[in-house]
Amino acid sequence: MPGMVLAFSDPVMQRFSWRTTPYTETDARDYFAEQEEARLRGDELNFALVEPHDRDVVLGGVSLQEVRLDQGCAAVGYWLAPEARGRGACSPGGHSPSWDWPGWS
């Protein structure tokens, strides 16, 4: 929770986020509850990006939104904590997450 609160308190995140300012732990808990509800409906999948050698360090998040299994597509969104930017944590090419989902091309 603290890593997300810190990340969403960043002025860059606030500029591009739909979230409230100041961002609180209650906001983070509500966000996680919304993510779980969307997952259970089959609308979204959300993943945390964490430091490879310390899973308690949150680098950011990646979301598959507007999931359309029948069409094999989804929108992709992401956010990065300030300390993760410029490190290739979510860069295009060889360092980006790759996903092999059954039934998706």
Element at 8 (helix H, strand E): helix 2-8
**Alpha-carbon span 16 to 13, nearest angstrom:** 5
Do 34 and 43 touch, CB atoms closer than 8 A? no
Report how far residue 16's alpha carbon sits from residue 30's, in angstroms, rounded to the nearest whole number.
19
What CATH architecture is 2-83? Answer: 3-Layer(aba) Sandwich (3.40)
Identity at 83, one-letter amino acid code = E
Whole-angstrom Cα distance, residue 38 to residue 67? 10
Read off the pLDDT of residues 10-61 as tens digits, 9 standing for 90 and up. Answer: 888 778 777 667 878 898 899 889 989 999 998 899 888 888 888 888 888 8
Domain ranges, ordered by start, for the chain: 2-83
**The tokens 């359309």 sit on which residue?**
68
Q: Is the pTM of this model over 0.85?
A: no
